[in-house]
Amino acid sequence: MSQPVAIVTGAGRGIGRAVAIQLSALKYDLVLVSRTASELEATRRQCVPEAAVMPADVSSAQQVDDLVLRAREKFKRIDVLVHCAGVALARRADQMTQEEWRATIDTNLSAVFYFSRLLWPIWKSQGGGVMVNVSSLAGRDPFEGLGAYGAAKAGVNLLGVALAREGKSENIRVHTVAPGATDTVMFRSLVGPEFPQDRILDPADVARVIVQCVRGDLVNTSGEVIYVHK
């Protein structure tokens, strides 16, 4: 069999980049996805085996369709999806526009559905697959102004349970990893530089848990929400 192939969304920085680097060290071939090609190229340079840069906006069902098709054409198989892409805007309900709401829900939650709809038939034909979705502590305890983000991540948590049950008989695992405060550009944009450093996770720490899910070290957590925090 060829090297296992993993699609990593949000791979341009933060947790997604850390996941890509760690999977690369384990000899996974990678499909690196985000909206910014230059950030993906920077990630690719830190990855050892084959890594393909495929910019896409995962809030778009059509772009997800095209992405999965291109990934399968290039590598002939897809074994893993790690969905790290996310959007978080600090907006109270009376301040948020409909467009911001949709971007938040679609990037964080709808993308999980878009990918699962396409990957399920592939994984059934291959004898199994692994999906790891990055959620957030905000899915159960959001900061003020993160209602939309928290609602999207709560949806990711519940959808992960349902998908794990649907995939079990087909050897498809679905894990949900929900980190607390993590030192990413997105988190810093929300809380500012004053947030205590000793309460913040390094993206590599979260990535290690995700990679454990991918490898099967945490095989019995399929369907569970794994909280990671200090």
Question: Which residues does the annotation mark as catalytic?
Answer: 149
Side by side, the strands of the sheet bearing 80-83 are: 51-53, 29-33, 5-9, 80-83, 129-134, 172-179, 225-228
Tokens matching residue 76: 């002939």
- How big is the CA angle at 190 (ends 54 and 44), to the nearest 5 degrees? 25
Backbone angles phi, psi at 143, to 5 degrees: -60, 160
Cα 187 to Cα 68, 198, 203: the distances in Å are 28, 15, 11
Beta strands in 1-159 (DSSP E): 5-9, 29-33, 51-53, 80-83, 129-134
Q: Which amino acid is at 103?
A: A
Alpha carbon 61 to chain centroid, angstroms? 16
How far is 64 from 8, CA to CA, in rounded Å?
12
